Amino acid sequence: MIAYKFIELNNEETITRKLNEYVEKFTDILQTGRSWTPVKTETVFSYVPELLDSLKKYTSLSIDISAFVFRPPGYEEAHLDGIIETRLLYPVRNCAGSFTKFYDLNGNSVTKMVEAKGNVWWKIGKEFPLKEIDRLELTKPVFFNAGVPHGVQTPAGNGPRLTFTCSFKGDASYLLT
Helix, strand and coil in the chain, % to nearest 5: 20, 40, 40
Stretch that binds Fe ion, among 14-22, 75-83, 135-143, 153-161 (CB under 5 A): 75-83
d(CA 125, CA 2): 24
Report DSSP state, residue 174: G
d(CA 41, CA 23): 13
Nearer CB in complex with Fe ion: 46/109? 109
Nearer CB in complex with Fe ion: 17/71? 71
Burial of 11 (0-12, 13-18, 19+ CB in 10 A): middle
Could you tell me the sign of the dihedral formed by the alpha carbons of 140, 144, 146, 149, in that order?
A: negative
Stretch that binds Fe ion, among 17-25, 33-41, 80-88, 123-131 (CB under 5 A): 80-88
Quote the least distance from Cβ 100 to Fe ion, whole Å. Answer: 8
Quote the least distance from Cβ 167 to Fe ion, whole Å. Answer: 10
Applying CB under 5 A, among 81, 89, 161, 167 the residue interacting with Fe ion is: 81
Nearer CB in complex with Fe ion: 6/26? 6
Quote the least distance from Cβ 17 to Fe ion, whole Å. Answer: 25
Quote the least distance from Cβ 146 to Fe ion, whole Å. Answer: 5
Q: How many residues bind Fe ion (CB under 5 A)?
A: 1
Give the residue closest to Fe ion by C-beta: 81
Nearer CB in complex with Fe ion: 36/45? 36
Half-sphere exposure of 26 (CA within 13 A, CB side): 16
Residues engaged in binding Fe ion (CB under 5 A): 81
